[in-house]
Amino acid sequence: MSELEREDLELEAALRPRDLSEFVGQQRVVDQLSLVIAAAKKDNRSADHILLAGPPGLGKTTLAMIVAAESERTLKLSSGPAIQSAGDLASILSALEPSDVLFIDEIHRLSRSAEEMLYLAMEDFRVDVMVGKGPGASSISLDIAPFTLVGATTRSGMLPNPLRDRFGFTAFLEYYEPADLEQVIQTSSRKLGVDIEGDALSELAKRSRGTPRIANRLLRRTRDFASVGEHGVISRDVVIQAMELFGVDQAGLDRVDNQLLRLLATKFNSKPVGLSTLAVALGEEPDTIEAVLEPYLIRVGFIQRTPRGREITPDGIAHIQP
Ligand SMILES: Nc1ncnc2c1ncn2[C@@H]1O[C@H](COP(=O)(O)OP(=O)(O)OP(=O)(O)O)[C@@H](O)[C@H]1O
Ligand SMILES: [Mg+2]
C-alpha cells in the first residue's frame, strides 16, 4: 500500500459518520434501518439480518458500524475473502456473544462450504461441524449465540438465492445526488479545518461520481494543492486547478475512464465489445471494469450494455471530443 493510499484510509476512518443523524442522504435506507433497529430494541432481541448492497464507497461499511452503534451491540468484522473455509467461519460464529453484530464484507466471495454453514447459522443459530476424518467422521451440531448478520456486497447479483432469502432486509444504496455530496464535503471540510467556498463545494461534488468516498478524496487532494500553493480559502478556481493536476475531468472521469471511452470510440469503432476483449485492450481485470469503472459510465449515459457487449453512446463520444 502506498503512503497516499494509507493516508486516504486514515482520512476515511476519521471522516466516517458515527450515527444515523450524521449519515447524509440515502433517506429511504436510513428510515428503513431506523425502523429495523428500533423494532429489535423494543423487543430486546437481535435485529433481523441485514444485507447492504451497492457500488463501492457509498457507505456500506459505515452503515454496518452505525447499525451496531445504534443498537448498542458489539461489532465483529470479517470478510468473504478472509473466510477461507467452513472451519474459519465456524470459529468466528462460535466466538460470537449473544446479540453481537457480525459484519461480513464482500459476502458474495464466501466459499460454497462457508456459505452453506452460514444458512443454518442465520436461520437456527446453529453450526454443524465435522469431527474426525475419513469413514469415522461425523457431524455434530453446536448452538451459537443469536446474532445479527450484516452482509455487504458490491455484487448483489452474484449472491445465491438461498443466501439472499435469509436476510430479513436488503438495503440498496444509490449513488448520491450532488446536493448530498456538497453536504458530505462541507462536513468533512469542517472536520478537517478547511476553508472552502460554496461554489468550490459544488465544483467538487459534480466531480465526485455520486460517491462520498471519492468526494472526501477529492477534497483531500484539493486541500493539499491549496496548502502547497498557499491559497488559503479554497475557491472554485483552486478546485479546477487541483482537478486538472490530478487528472479528474468535469464529469469526474479519470484517465482510465477516458481511455476506456476512447478505446470504444476508436479501436472498436463505437461498436459493441465483449467485456473480456475490452479488459485486455484496457489492461484491466474484467471484474474491475464491471464493478468499478462501468457502473458510473453507464449511469452518466456514456456507455451502454447491449446483448452484444459494451458500446459507447453519442454522449460518451461527445465527452471525449476536444
Ligand atoms: N452517507 C454518508 N455520509 C457521509 N459520509 C459518507 C457516507 N457514506 C460514506 N461516507 C464516507 O465515505 C467513506 C466510504 O464509505 P464506506 O467505507 O462505508 O463505503 P463502502 O460502501 O463500504 O465501500 P466498499 O464497497 O468499497 O467497501 C466513509 O469513510 C465515509 O467517510
Ligand atoms: Mg466497505
Q: Which domains does the chain have, with CATH numbers?
A: 26-172 (3.40.50.300), 178-246 (1.10.8.60), 255-320 (1.10.10.10)
Q: Which atom belonging to ligand 1 lies closest to the Cα atom of 55? A: 25
Kindly give the distance from the C-alpha atom of residue 63 to the centroid of ligand 1, in angstroms, as a whole number: 8
Q: Is-catalytic flag, 222? A: no
Ligand 1, pocket-test mutation among 7, 8, 52, 61, most atoms within 8 A of CB: 61
Number of the ligand closest to the Cα of 220? 1
Report which protein residue has its CA nearest ligand 1's atom 15: 59
Of the candidates 73, 213, 217, 223, the residue annotated as catalytic is 213
φ, ψ of residue 75 to 5 degrees: the values are -100, 130
Nearest Cα residue to 74 out of 99, 51, 48, 93: 99
pLDDT along the chain (322 residues), means of 10: 84 89 93 93 91 94 94 94 92 94 96 93 92 83 95 91 92 94 96 94 96 96 90 93 95 95 96 96 93 89 95 96 82
pLDDT of residue 3: 85
- Give the separation between CA 313 and CA 189, rounded to whole angstroms: 36
Q: Is 62 in the pocket of ligand 1 (CB under 6 A)?
A: yes
Cell numbers 465435522 correspond to 130
pLDDT of residue 10: 87
Ligand 1, pocket-test mutation among 9, 213, 214, most atoms within 8 A of CB: 213
CA of residue 178 relative to chain centroid, distance:
18
pLDDT of residue 123: 93
- Give the separation between CA 149 and CA 102, rounded to whole angstroms: 5
Q: Is 58 in the pocket of ligand 1 (CB under 6 A)?
A: yes
pLDDT of residue 229: 82
Q: Which atom belonging to ligand 1 lies closest to the Cα atom of 63? A: 18
